[in-house]
Structure 1
Amino acid sequence: MKKYEAMLIFLPELEEEKRNSLLDRLKGIIEADGTISNVDDWGSRKLAYEINDYTDGYYVVINFESTPEAVKEFDRIAKISDSILRHMIVREEE
């Protein structure tokens, strides 16, 4: 398994309950084939540039080990979710 880091930017007005529900769903995808080492909740921050008329976003960073198939499913779910403004998954160096 390889190490990855995922950054998610949620809509700023999204209710905490809905954000946590989606985050739990994404974490479940990872934990089915791997392990999560750290979830860092950065909270609400100003975006570097405007995205879809939003100037703020709610940031969450997840460090995990998983299979490439689980990462593809994580990416697919993050892409189709209307509650996520942007996401990025990068593979960490060994």
Structure 2
Amino acid sequence: MSRNYEMMYILRPDLSEDQVSAAVTKYQDLLTEYGATEITNDVWGRRRLAYPIQKFNDGIYVLVHYSGDGKQVAAVERMMRLSEDVLRFLSLKQEIPAVAEAAEPVAAEA
């Protein structure tokens, strides 16, 4: 059964643009390898953190939406946990797709 997932991760702010794109590609390829489909990456860029993490006050935010059967979550989170470039990550299972929710027209009651 295919479900929709949302994942946000924060990369170190001292990475170059090439290193950021390499990291995004690495995690996208890993998701594809484990059977994820409909992968969309949205790099938000450098943002201020709510609190310092590893003495960094900023981070590069990346938002990923994908569909899969759930085995991708553990594999990707393990790779992120081992990486020194990732400060934080969070994966969420979505009940309904975010795109479909926004696309549905609101019916007006008469």
Same fold (TM over 0.5): yes
Pick which of 65-74 and 80-89 moved more. 65-74
Is the Cα–Cα contact under 8 Å of residues 36 and 62 in structure 1 kept in the other structure? no
Partner of 2:76: 74
- 1:37 Cα deviation after fit: 4.1
Unpaired runs of at least 5, structure 1:
none
Counterparts of 1:1-12 in structure 2, within 5 Å, are 1-12=2-13
Instruction: Give 1 or 2 for the bigger CA radius of gyration.
Output: 2
- 1:63 Cα deviation after fit: 0.5
* 1:54-80 Cα distance to aligned partner (Å, 9 max, x none): 110000100001122121111110111
Q: Alpha carbon RMSD of aligned pairs, Å?
A: 1.2
Q: Distance in 1 between matches of 2:50 and 2:64?
A: 20
Q: Distance in 2 between matches of 1:3 and 1:13?
A: 31
Counterparts of 1:1-94 in structure 2, within 5 Å, are 1-32=2-33, 33-94=35-96
Give the residue type in structure 2 aligned to 1:14. L
The two structures have a TM-score, normalised by structure 2, of 0.79
Unpaired runs of at least 5, structure 2:
97-110
User: Secondary structure, in 3 states, of the residue corresponding to 2:13?
Assistant: coil
Larger strand proportion of the pair: 1
* Identity over aligned pairs, percent: 28
| Higher RCO structure, 1 or 2 (CA under 8 Å, sep 6+) | 1
- 1:88 Cα deviation after fit: 0.6
Q: Distance in 2 between matches of 1:64 and 1:46?
A: 26
- 1:38 Cα deviation after fit: 2.4
User: Secondary structure, in 3 states, of the residue corresponding to 1:78?
Assistant: helix
